[in-house]
Amino acid sequence: MDHDPQALTALRRQLAAAAGQLRLAVRAMDDGLVPARSLLADVNDVAAWLGGGGRVATGDGTVFVLGGAATAVVMDAADDPAVSGVRSASTFTVVGPVPDIVATRLSMHFHPHHEEFVPTHVFVRVTSGLLYLGLAGEPRLGRGYTTDRDEWTLHLFPVLNRTTLDTVRPVSRSEVLPGLDWLAHAADDPVEAARRFITGWYPKVAPEQSACGQAVSDLASVPLPRALRELYRAVAGRPRTVLGTWQCISHPRDLSVDSATGRLKFAWGNEGNWTWACDTGDDDPAVWLTREQVHPVSRPEPDRDPERLGGFLLRFTLAQAVVGLPYQGLSRGARVRASVADRLTAGLRRVPVGPSRWDHHAELYVAPGLVVGIDHVNERERRVAAGATHGSALRRLATADIDWHEFDG
């Protein structure tokens, strides 16, 4: 059997990194630090444990200790997406900006040419001192929900239990959760419903996104339906995730007209293999999905979406909220009994949009600050996903009889 040398090299590096994490975890325990149980008095003790190192503080109280062979990050116990802190039982986030030397430490093992793994140890300030949580790895760089600054999200090893999570990320009760006034418009005017949902649920944080509004004004040569024009006006200045993550509404400057059909191509998905287009000359036109083949023999026939553009954009926006809002819940595969899903949605309100032919979330339900997608896998099983603006909104699902793969409530 032939082996890919590059794949083998990558595997060796992954194994070396895992072995390095294991050695450091053993060392931490040998030195008396046990994840979720050990306490140090202050940052001076952390530096001494690392064998010395420079210290870098950020504006939100986070302190980095940069040792010769390891990094430590010390954060406040908080439940606020605007500042650094533990986000879930398995992740924490560092909110930028951070100095270049810290960014390099956080993201070093994005790059395969870095042979040496520099571990990151995580501490959180609690009443009795600095609680050691363990190691961090698998960094992901992105943008925030309440800010437009860079964020580094890293996984925690080991995963925290519920008691520890509630200590280092105490779920506060939000004084104000975004409401459901938009839902009253969903059936009769989905364009207005989408506008109210976006402006009511997403803060204005991204100045450069204001370019959406100007770009719409500059598109004199491209006929924009009302639904799409109002969407762009609503998202101006708001987080990029409003326009999507895995599937995305195109920025106005990237819109184009299909030369073969004359339809306006306005969205894409599945790594660019899916394209959504709408007819022009109508304020609420039909929407068509084209699934490109990897090796197409001929141009595939597009499918017409059950919803017209206004309903499509409302459903699309809500489906992206499920995966893009800062607090997430995701069931472990299709293992949720239909009866459990029915009880979960009994206290929620159904959004009156038809099922899509492209999204897993066949049904969408909402409550203040919470969007839930229910995928009907078969007659007996469901898949559940949820996104929330605040941990307290997601916490209402904590008592459901669901094996959660991820749950931030």
Backbone angles phi, psi at 278, to 5 degrees: -130, 155
Tens-digit pLDDT profile for residues 116-160: 567 889 999 999 999 999 988 777 776 655 555 678 888 888 889
Q: Is 207 exposed, middle or buried (0-12, 13-18, 19+ CB in 10 A)?
A: exposed
What per-residue confidence (pLDDT) applies to 111?
Answer: 39
- What parts of the chain have a pLDDT lower than 70? 1-32, 108-117, 142-149, 174-175, 206-222, 270-272, 293-301, 357-361
Nearest to 394, CA basis, from 342, 290, 321, 337: 321
- What letters, b where the CB count within 10 A reaches 16 and e where it falls short, cover 18-37? eebbeebbeebeeeebebbe
Q: Do 140 and 37 share a structural domain?
A: yes
Residue 350 host element (H or E): strand 349-350
- Domain count along the chain: 3
- List the domain range (segments joined by +) for residue 347: 322-407
62 occurs within a structural domain:
yes
Q: Do 159 and 288 share a structural domain?
A: no
Nearest to 400, CA basis, from 330, 333, 361, 343: 343
5 occurs within a structural domain:
no
Distance, in Å, from the CA atom of 171 to the CA atom of 159, rounded to the nearest integer, reads 18
Check if the beta carbon of residue 314 is closer than 8 Å to that of residue 302.
Answer: no
Please report, to the nearest 10 degrees, the dihedral formed by the alpha carbons of residues 359, 360, 365, 369 taken in order: -80
Tens-digit pLDDT profile for residues 221-270: 567 899 999 999 899 888 878 888 778 999 888 888 888 888 999 998 86
Backbone angles phi, psi at 7, to 5 degrees: -65, -40
CATH of residue 117 = 2.30.280
Is the torsion defined by CA of 133, 394, 185, 181 positive or negative?
A: negative
Tokens of 324: 């893009």
Q: Do 299 and 348 share a structural domain?
A: no
What per-residue confidence (pLDDT) applies to 88?
Answer: 85
DSSP-derived 3-state class of residue 232: helix
Q: Do 306 and 192 share a structural domain?
A: yes
End-to-end CA distance of the chain: 47
Q: Do 373 and 241 share a structural domain?
A: no
- What letters, b where the CB count within 10 A reaches 16 and e where it falls short, cover 345-369? beebeebebeebeebbbbbbbbbbb
Check if the beta carbon of residue 65 is closer than 8 Å to that of residue 155.
Answer: no
What per-residue confidence (pLDDT) applies to 296?
Answer: 47
Tokens of 381: 């099983």
Alpha helices by DSSP H, listed for 219-327, are: 226-235, 309-324
Distance, in Å, from the CA atom of 336 to the CA atom of 400, rounded to the nearest integer, reads 10
What per-residue confidence (pLDDT) applies to 13?
Answer: 60
Q: Do 276 and 160 share a structural domain?
A: no
Q: Do 151 and 23 share a structural domain?
A: yes
Distance, in Å, from the CA atom of 286 to the CA atom of 280, rounded to the nearest integer, reads 9
Q: Do 277 and 201 share a structural domain?
A: yes
Helices (H) and strands (E) in the chain, counts: 10, 22
Q: Do 78 and 197 share a structural domain?
A: no
Distance, in Å, from the CA atom of 140 to the CA atom of 122, rounded to the nearest integer, reads 16
What beta strand segments (E) does 214-310 contain? 248-249, 256-257, 264-269, 274-278, 287-291, 303-304
Is the torsion defined by CA of 250, 255, 257, 259 positive or negative?
A: negative
